[in-house]
Amino acid sequence: MQKTKSLNKMTFGSLALSTLLLIGSCSKNADKPVTVPINDLNASQSLATTASPTVYTMDVASIRKDEGYAYKVSPIPVDGDSNTAPTASTLKVYENGVELGPAHSVHADIRDIGKGRFSHWSNGLYFSTSDNSSPLTNGRKYTYTLTGTASSGATAPSTSAPATSTPATGSVLSTVLTGYAAVNGTTTGGKGATAVTVSTLAAFKSAVAGNSPKIVYVSGTISGSGLTPVYVGSNTTIIGKTGAVIQSLNLYLFTVSNIIIQNITFRNYVTECGIYVKFQSHHVWIDHCDFATDRSHGWDYWGKDIGVAEGSDYVTISWNKFHDTYLSLLIGSISSDAVAANTGKLHVTVHHNYWYNVSEREPTLVFGSIHMYNNYHLNNDGYSIGARYGGTVRTDNEYFSGCKKPLTTNLDGDPVGYFSGTTTNIYSNCGSNDITSSLSSWVPSYSYSSVLDAAANVPAVVTAGAGVKTVN
């Protein structure tokens, strides 16, 4: 259900506009793609690639109806989660080669909500399909692996990726930056600094403070109260080691620049956003992270995954997973000084991200200019991408599957935004777009054709490459 409450938590008062802020068109030039190699993070992201795992096929005879949307397969060759180790399993489930999730789901949620949730408990697998249809009759192929990444066949899905973007393998982080975070300067984070590793909240706050170059590894789980702010200084690289989790915290990037955040699992940020880029911050790269919240608390409890607002600029958001939440990504805000703050700002590139089981805002745009390419949107029950208050969204080779309303400008009666490139996308089993403004011809000022995947390849490329990776 589309949310009607307008832009809560990040809005500071309604602004009555008599005219729309129109985004000026700019033409694509013939320059080389805006890409920057990240060669010196003192944290090598050239990591060992694991061998392809064995793929197990679930034939119909092996699948038993449980309750609600849940189905059971047993026995599984190895034991999984238990009361003492509730996230021990490495099992992954695939539907026609597309990864389902989240894993380690509560059994009641698999039965009552479904939508791809599963649990490998003891020697049994309890799972649901992506659209809650029956795996006994829907004609799809279901497979699972016990380690690594797999597909619907005996080999892993294609891991080809843009020549200057992320290798879509199971254990490699991005080493090349593309998009707006490489325009009008670049984004290198703490390049050249000596790396430190932190595992407590106090150490983390101290390590990321200040504006001197710094590289901070996060080890284990760092938790806050749900309302705990952590202020990140300029010239910072934050990298999660394998399994690193930041939960119940908010990373505030306020009036800062040159920041890289990679390989962190973010959970349950109560106020505003998991990562909030605000107050003229610029040159920020958020890459290979995983964002989710507990949906049992309702619309108004959790914050957004990421917010970019109040005149911030030159941001790239790439290769992340966003799932199981109500409101994901908000770019721009409505406040008494929003027009002045955001005019000519909010240039954001969003590419190769994976949204699934999200209600809306993948993202929504208020003012600004977003370039979105090669993102995968799965099972959205509200709207996927929204444009309002004169903001313009360029889409290139997006893939929407099972989404109620992929693109919309019809949001809560707000002034409309604009879309460009809508015919380049694939809409599979989706509802209609709801675009009430004239189509735009806007494209970003940088060239990007050489880093663009075909729309048909997006599910395989993105599910193989998005999310956290192995960093030792």
Q: Residues with catalytic annotation?
A: 361
Q: Could you tell me which residues come within 8 angstroms of residue 206 by beta carbon, excluding any fewer than 6 positions away?
A: none
Largest Cα separation within the chain, whole Å, is: 65
**Owner of token pair 């809409």:** 427
**Tokens at 437, concatenated:** 């403004």
DSSP secondary structure of 45-107: ---PPPPPPPPEEE-GGGEEE-STT-EEE---SS--B-SS-TT----EEEETTEEP--SS--H
Count of CB atoms situated within 10 Å of the CB of 428: 12
Q: Could you tell me which residues come within 8 angstroms of residue 221 by beta carbon, excluding any fewer than 6 positions away?
A: 244, 245, 246, 247
Distance from C-alpha of 35 to C-alpha of 75, rounded to nearest angstrom? 48
Number of C-alpha atoms within 13 angstroms, CB side, residue 245?
12
* Total number of residues shown for the chain: 472
Q: Kindly report the three-state secondary structure assignment for every residue of 337-384.
A: CHHHHHCCCCEEEEECCEEEEEEECCCEEECCEEEEECCEEECCCCCC
CA dihedral 111→112→114→115, nearest 10 degrees, is 170
Distance from C-alpha of 37 to C-alpha of 371, rounded to nearest angstrom? 20
User: Amino acid letter at 412?
Assistant: D
8 Å CB contact between 353 and 315: no
Distance from C-alpha of 442 to C-alpha of 347, rounded to nearest angstrom? 13
Q: Identify the three-state secondary structure at position 308.
A: strand
Q: Identify the three-state secondary structure at position 224.
A: strand
**Residue 386 class from Cβ within 10 Å (0-12 exposed, 13-18 middle, 19+ buried)?**
buried
Rounded (5°) CA angle 22-25-29: 160
Could you tell me the sign of the dihedral formed by the alpha carbons of 386, 352, 451, 173, in that order? positive
